[in-house]
Amino acid sequence: MAARCTGPHAVSRHSRLCVRSKYSTASTSKPLYVPRSSARSDAASATQDEEITADVVVVGAGVGGLCCAALLAEYGFDVAVVEAHDVPGGCAHAFERNGYTFDSGPSFFSGISSRPSTNPLGQVLHALDIRLPTIKYDAWDVHLPDGEVFRCKADGEAYRREVSRVGGPEALAQWQALERRMDPLAKVAGALPAAALRWDITAAATVFPYLPGLMSAGPGALFLQKPFAALVDDAGVKNSFLRSIIDLECFVLSGMKASGTITAEMAFMFMERNGAEGEGERSAIEYPIGGAGAVVDALVDALKKRGGSLHLRSAVEEIVVSDGRAVGVRTKAGRTLHARKAVISNASTWDTFGKLVKSEHLPPSWRRERTSTPMTDSFMHLHVGFDKSGLPDDLECHHIVVNDMEDISTEQNVVAISIPSVFDPNLAPEGKHLAHIYTAGNEPYSIWEGLDRRSDEYRQLKEQRSEVLWRALEKVVPDIRSRVDLSLVGTPLTHERFNRRSRGSYGPAISAAESSFPGPDTPIVGLYCCGDSTQPGIGLPAVAASGMIAANTIAPLDRHMKLLERISG
Note the pLDDT tens digit of each residue in 56-89.
999 999 999 999 999 999 999 999 999 999 999 9
Mean pLDDT of the region 149-169: 93
- pLDDT greater at residue 236 or residue 538: 236
As beta bridge partners, residue 322 has 325
Find the helix or strand (DSSP H, E) in which 183 lies: helix 169-191
- What average pLDDT does the segment 417-443 reach? 95
Could you tell me the sign of the dihedral formed by the alpha carbons of 99, 100, 104, 105, in that order? positive
Residues 37-93+291-374+514-568: name the CATH superfamily: FAD/NAD(P)-binding domain (3.50.50.60)
The mean per-residue pLDDT over the stretch 522-535 comes to 97
Question: How high is the pLDDT of residue 42?
Answer: 45
What sections of 42-148 are H helices per DSSP?
Answer: 63-74, 120-127
Helix (H/G/I), strand (E/B), else coil: 449: coil
For the domain made up of 378-504, give the CATH fold.
Guanine Nucleotide Dissociation Inhibitor; domain 2 (3.30.519)
Q: Can you tell me the mean pLDDT for 521-548?
A: 95
Of 189 and 237, the one with more pLDDT = 237
CA atoms within 13 A on the CB side of 167: 27
Domain-wise residue ranges, the chain: 37-93+291-374+514-568, 171-277, 378-504
Query: What average pLDDT score do residues 288-305 get?
Result: 97
Question: What is the pLDDT of the chain when averaged over all its residues?
Answer: 88
Range scoring the smallest mean pLDDT among 28-42, 43-57, 502-516: 28-42
Pairwise pLDDT comparison (215 vs 537), residue with the higher score: 537
> Is residue 192's pLDDT more than 70?
yes
Under a CB-based contact definition with an 8 Å cutoff, are residues 519 and 526 in contact? no
The domains spanning 37-93+291-374+514-568 and 378-504 adopt the same CATH topology: no
Does residue 254 have a pLDDT over 90? Answer: no
Contact 34, 11 (CB under 8 A): yes
pLDDT of residue 283: 54
pLDDT tens profile 311-362 = 999 999 999 999 999 999 999 999 999 999 999 999 999 999 999 999 999 9
pLDDT at 9: 26
| Banded model confidence at residue 2, pLDDT cuts 50, 70, 90 | very low
